[in-house]
Amino acid sequence: MSDATKQPKDPQRHSTYLPAEKKSTKAFHATPMLDQLESGPWPSFVTGLKRLAHENNMMVDLLGQLEHSYKTRLGYWKGGTVSVFGYGGGIIPRFSEVASLFPESKEFHTLRVQPPAGNHYTTKMLRQLSDSWNKWGSGLIAFHGQTGNIMFIGSTSENTQHFFDEINAYGFDLGGAGPCVRTAMSCVGAARCEQSCANEHRIHRTLVNNFIDDMHRPALPYKFKFKVSGCPNDCMNSIQRADFAVIGTWRDDMQVDQKEVKKYVAGHGRKYTIDNVIARCPTRALSLNDDDTLEVDNKSCVRCMHCINVMTKALKPGKDRGITLLIGGKRTLKIGDTMGTVIVPFMKMDTDEDYEKLRQLAATVIDFWAENGLEHERCGEMIERIGLANFLEGIGVEVDPNMITHPRTSSYVRLDDWDQEAQKWIDRKKPAAVQA
């Protein structure tokens, strides 16, 4: 199939390597089903687990229990209550229901640890984290879980504290588990991406590190997630997966390098450019001029990013950059899926005051939801229940037509205060008109 299936050059330094010497004292369980996942070109997690089982008895029995799950097609872990001193969450406790068969892995807890913003590591730090975990846990680490944590998988109740003490001393802290503010995520962003419209890392850390108490001591209605993407490509999946999504954007004209546009058209052809750039614009804001330069109707552009993704040298976000905030994204449970909806169409993120404004807004949202959300009700579900207008009033944000796809279509509504509400809009618009 490919090079990966050929005999490795150096079998000692290959993903298929198994040590000759077995240091664990417990005999291996037969794992005929898992063994079938050792072949094939993709690196095998089973071979990885077996390497660990050569080192420690916990992983010998873990492999036994996993094989048991493969045979019976059922899971055998139950939750419980485990945390470290001073915290109420951050650990996913796992106790085996089949501990009589696999006693060495009867406790197999996961510590959720917050990665550095942007998931950057030096090899030195990766090795250090691995060494610490090898000392106090199973040695198995997932980079990263779906919430964004480093998942240190497989520890006894006692060793969770020792491990935490060790890594906490060199700068790592637990993430969220349970009804609390969860570990946040941010894209690589400004560190390595020309499409970045904000300092994702600073926004990420400003938000989550300000609610660290709400993370470590779960007392909210349910989980609350922050995710930060530097542009509308939303590599952090924030609109769908975050209660509080921050998306970098711009409000002036997109930057166009017409020389590069011409080069692109010359290289790819007019037809390709029209089919893949011009015709794919969702608001028909693009037009290819007869001289192969690009005309952009910036007032109609919705900042979808498509043309910028295609013509990476010719097109760029504008220079007047900031963020859009969307609130209330989540998956199915309980009312069905909700995407986050626009709450703030645009805000600048240049000064310390801007960051403070963002932090305060997040605090207001969390406070309002903590006060009004039902048990196990995500922020988006609460908004669905009470209506967006009531939510906006609760957090002190004015209505804006950017928040909707279209105005209401149903006439079943009371409009008693229409004139006052219309006046609010007129008053809000006045200063802008005067300035203009």
Which residues between 104 and 163 bind other proteins (CB under 8 A)? 108, 110, 114-127, 130-131, 133-134, 139-146, 148, 151, 153, 161
* Close Cβ partners of 403 (under 8 Å, ≥ 6 residues apart): 341, 342, 343, 345, 388, 392
d(CA 327, CA 261) in angstroms, rounded, equals: 36
Residues 321-350, interacting with other proteins (CB under 8 A): 331-337, 339
* Residue 407 CA, distance from chain mean position: 31
Q: Which is nearer to other proteins, 34 or 383 (CB)?
A: 34
Q: Which is nearer to other proteins, 388 or 393 (CB)?
A: 388
- Residue among 227, 225, 425, 233 nearest 317 (CA): 233
Residue 280, CB-side half-sphere exposure with 13 Å CA sphere: 16
In whole angstroms, the minimum distance from the beta carbon of 343 to other proteins comes to 16
Look up residue 139 and give its two tokens. 């040695």
Residue 28 interacts with other proteins (CB under 8 A)?
A: no
The amino acid sitting at 48 is G
3-state secondary structure of 223: coil
Residues 30-59, interacting with other proteins (CB under 8 A): 33-34, 36-37, 39-46, 48-49, 51-52
Contact criterion met (CB below 8 Å) for 89 and 178: yes
Residues 163-182, interacting with other proteins (CB under 8 A): 164-165, 168-169, 171-174
Helix 157-169 with 123-136: angle, nearest 10 deg: 150
Q: Which is nearer to other proteins, 275 or 417 (CB)?
A: 275
In whole angstroms, the minimum distance from the beta carbon of 202 to other proteins comes to 9
Q: Which is nearer to other proteins, 140 or 361 (CB)?
A: 140
Beta-strand ranges (E) seen in 165-240 are 185-186, 226-229
Residue 296 interacts with other proteins (CB under 8 A)?
A: no
Residues 352-371, interacting with other proteins (CB under 8 A): none
* Close Cβ partners of 102 (under 8 Å, ≥ 6 residues apart): 29, 61, 62, 64, 65, 68, 96
Residue 254 interacts with other proteins (CB under 8 A)?
A: no
The amino acid sitting at 226 is F
Q: Which is nearer to other proteins, 251 or 393 (CB)?
A: 251
Residue 266 interacts with other proteins (CB under 8 A)?
A: no
Q: Which is nearer to other proteins, 26 or 54 (CB)?
A: 54
Residues 370-409, interacting with other proteins (CB under 8 A): 374-376
Q: Which is nearer to other proteins, 116 or 318 (CB)?
A: 116
In whole angstroms, the minimum distance from the beta carbon of 185 to other proteins comes to 7
Residue 269 interacts with other proteins (CB under 8 A)?
A: no
Residue 244 interacts with other proteins (CB under 8 A)?
A: no
Q: Which is nearer to other proteins, 66 or 361 (CB)?
A: 66
- Residue found by looking up tokens 């006045």 in the block: 430
Residue 203 interacts with other proteins (CB under 8 A)?
A: no
Query: ∠300-232-378 over CA atoms, to 5°?
Result: 115
Q: Which is nearer to other proteins, 69 or 293 (CB)?
A: 69
d(CA 371, CA 389) in angstroms, rounded, equals: 17
Compose the 69-98 pattern: x for residues touching other proteins by CB under 8 A, - for all others.
xx-xxxxxxxx----xxxx----x-x----
Residue 259 interacts with other proteins (CB under 8 A)?
A: no
Size of the site for other proteins (CB under 8 A): 144
Among 22, 251, 262, 306, binds other proteins (CB under 8 A): 306
In whole angstroms, the minimum distance from the beta carbon of 195 to other proteins comes to 8
d(CA 244, CA 255) in angstroms, rounded, equals: 29
Among 60, 98, 236, 343, binds other proteins (CB under 8 A): 236
Among 22, 26, 205, 357, binds other proteins (CB under 8 A): 205
Q: Which is nearer to other proteins, 106 or 201 (CB)?
A: 201
* Residue 284 CA, distance from chain mean position: 31
Stretch touching other proteins by CB under 8 A, among 297-305, 347-355, 359-367, 421-429 = 297-305
Q: Which is nearer to other proteins, 275 or 398 (CB)?
A: 275
d(CA 104, CA 107) in angstroms, rounded, equals: 8
- Residue found by looking up tokens 């001393």 in the block: 169
Residue 305 interacts with other proteins (CB under 8 A)?
A: yes
Contact criterion met (CB below 8 Å) for 190 and 201: yes
Look up residue 166 and give its two tokens. 């060790």
Look up residue 157 and give its two tokens. 């109740």
Stretch touching other proteins by CB under 8 A, among 308-316, 352-360, 392-400, 414-422 = 308-316
Residue 232 interacts with other proteins (CB under 8 A)?
A: yes
d(CA 340, CA 365) in angstroms, rounded, equals: 14
Output the CA–CA distances (angstroms, integers) from residue 258 to 53, 261, 265, 286, 314, in the order listed: 60, 5, 10, 13, 7
